[in-house]
Each structure stands twice: as structure tokens, then as C-alpha cells.
Amino acid sequence: MTDSSTDITSPLAVGALVTVIGGAGFIGRYVVEALAKAGYRVRAVSRHADSALFLKPLGDLGQIQVVSGNVRSDADMVAAFDGAAAGVNLVGILAESGNQRFADLQAAGAGRAARAAAAAGVTDYVQMSAIGADASSRIPYARSKGEGEQQVLAALPFAAVLRPSLVAGPEDQFFNRFAGMARVAPFLPAISGDSLFQPVYVRDVADAVVAALQSGDARGRIFELGGPDVLSFTAILKMISDLTGLNRPVVALSDFTSGLLAKVGDYVPFMPMNSDQLAMLKLGNICAPGMPGLEQLGITPTPLAAFVPEMMQRYRRGGRFAKAAQGPDA
């Protein structure tokens, strides 16, 4: 077992085994691909390995191993990190449902994975958190993220913590959710429309994970990851309306109506957001001034214009080759 307090600054050797907890998720698939591209062997851990087999072609023959494992299980985490040189924990949920609870997954689960990694002697580790993480927050999502950070750093003081803003990409649950809504709804609801986002491209987040594992300067530090565009919720909805060519009006909702819809969203999964998400939205979702971010990890942030228009093409009437409507100037 390696002492987790040891200052190990030598770079992670190419070919080393990296365990990725939550490797089959939205961010996970890109992290697995980026690690494989960088020359590492990857053990992708998913609750259901059979549903994660799509990851294997992202690397060379035998480079990516897919195994079953649950972050709630001590035994599963011990097995997941057996023989690994490094670890990445990506497990997180946007809303609670059934037995999927913030405290179990994002706090206790994060700690369980980190302790197993420490026992296995990993030398590098990345914990995926979120902007707004705060162990003293009254918001369960933010509180569990903050508690998870604390548990990880207690077990692995050298771990790098990444806090992304809204992560955007082909399979995301934000741009795609509201674009899908635009297909069927007469308008797009601006809930707390002045709240600010700093969307970050999912491939930049994946590259940040690799960079944090490779960089001695990232050890024990917290990074907030945001893209170059800072937009209000209203502006993002207008962008979605324009790029899909659906030209849905964006309607500002009162605090009362927003709160009512969010309460419904606590019980109905297809609603725009739930109470937790509304509370986080009102806090804003941009990087704090002075916090290290993508640039400090050697990554140039990708603007939304480089990938969101292509994402929105499939929502146009007539498909991706239909003529896009010309939206207003940004």
C-alpha cells in the first residue's frame, strides 16, 4: 500500500492502468476515449457492464476493460482498483429517483471509491465534482458534492478535484432536453432566465481529466472548468430556438410559476427541472474569479459555436440538411 500523503510528482507512465468509476456515463465515455488515446489502459466500471460494451472500440484491442461495479459496494470498489495506478471518479446524478440518492452516490460513494483507491496504492486521482459544491450548502445536490470532495481529499490528499460548469456535448441532458422540448412545446420557459452559465465542452472536460492525472501541478488542487462563453439561461434558450430553426418564443416565468414547475419536477422526470436544480440555477453556474481552470491544465476552451450548431441539426424540421433559420445577432 502506498502512503496517500506521499508527494509523488513523477508523471503517470504511459500504459499504466487507470480505473474510471462511472465510465459509461455521458462524461465517462469521453474520459475513457481520451485516456485510451493518451496510451493508458483503462478499466471502465459501470453498474451494468453489458450496457458499457460500446466503450471497448474506443481503444486498441484489449486496451479498455469493462467491468461491473457499484459505488455503494466496498467489495466492488476494492476489486475495481486492484492493480490500478490511477483512478477517476465520475459518478453523479442530476436528480434523485428511487434509491439513487445524492448522499449515497456523491458523498458516501465518492469516499468509498477514494478509500479503495488509497488502499490499492494509486498515485494519481481525479474527482469530478461541480461548480457550487459546498459541504455546508442547504441544497442537497451541492452539499453532497462538497461532502464528496472532503471525503476524497481525506483519503487521497493529492487528488485533483474538477468542478465543471454545465457540461455540453452530443449526449448532454441540457441542450438536448430543451431542443427536444422545442419540437413539441409552443414556447421555451425561461426559469430564472437571468442566471448565468459558462458551458464547457465535454471533450475539454475529458482532456482536463487526463491533464490532471499527468500534471504534478494539479495534485491536491481544485479546478473550475468553464468555456469561453458566459450566457444567461434566456440567451441559451434563444440559441437553441434559433439553431433548431423552430423559432420558439422564450417566455420568462415568474418566481412563483418557476417554483411550482420545479415542485412538479420533483415527481415528474420529464419536467425542465426540479427544486434542487432551480435552487442551483439561482446561484449561477460560472467559474469563480481567480480559480484555476482549463487554461492552467493546458487546454484552450472550446466555444459553443464550434459544436452546438451541429448538435442542434437533428432537431430541425426535415432533419440535419434542412435550412436553418437565421437567428438574431448574438
pLDDT per residue over 20-74, tens digit each?
999 999 999 999 999 999 999 999 999 999 999 999 999 999 999 999 999 999 9
Q: Report residue 1's pLDDT band, with 50, 70 and 90 as the boundaries.
A: very low
290 within some domain: no
- Predicted confidence (pLDDT) at residue 3 exceeds the cutoff of 60: no
- Predicted confidence (pLDDT) at residue 107 exceeds the cutoff of 70: yes
76 within some domain: yes
- Predicted confidence (pLDDT) at residue 10 exceeds the cutoff of 80: no
The count of domains in the chain is 1
190 within some domain: no
Q: What is the pLDDT of residues 273-319, one digit of tens each?
A: 788 888 888 888 999 999 999 999 999 999 999 999 999 999 998 77
> Could you list the residue range(s) of the whole structural domain that residue 39 is in?
17-158
- Predicted confidence (pLDDT) at residue 118 exceeds the cutoff of 50: yes
Question: How far apart (Å, rounded) are the C-alpha atoms in residues 211 and 217?
Answer: 10
Burial 245-256 (b: 16+ CB within 10 A, else e): bbebebeebeee
Question: Which CATH number belongs to the domain containing residue 78 in this structure?
Answer: 3.40.50.720
CA-angle at 75, arms to 111 and 89, nearest 5°: 40
130 within some domain: yes
58 within some domain: yes
DSSP secondary structure, 270-299, as one string: TSS--HHHHHHHHH-B-PPTT---TGGGT-
CA-angle at 101, arms to 287 and 70, nearest 5°: 100
64 within some domain: yes
Write down the pTM of the prediction: 0.92
150 within some domain: yes
Q: Report residue 328's pLDDT band, with 50, 70 and 90 as the boundaries.
A: very low
Question: How far apart (Å, rounded) are the C-alpha atoms in residues 240 and 215?
Answer: 37
Residue type, 220: G
Question: How far apart (Å, rounded) are the C-alpha atoms in residues 85 and 111?
Answer: 18
- CA-to-CA separations, 295 to 225, 241, 259, in angstroms, rounded: 9, 31, 37
DSSP secondary structure, 166-182, as one string: SEESTT-SSHHHHHHHH
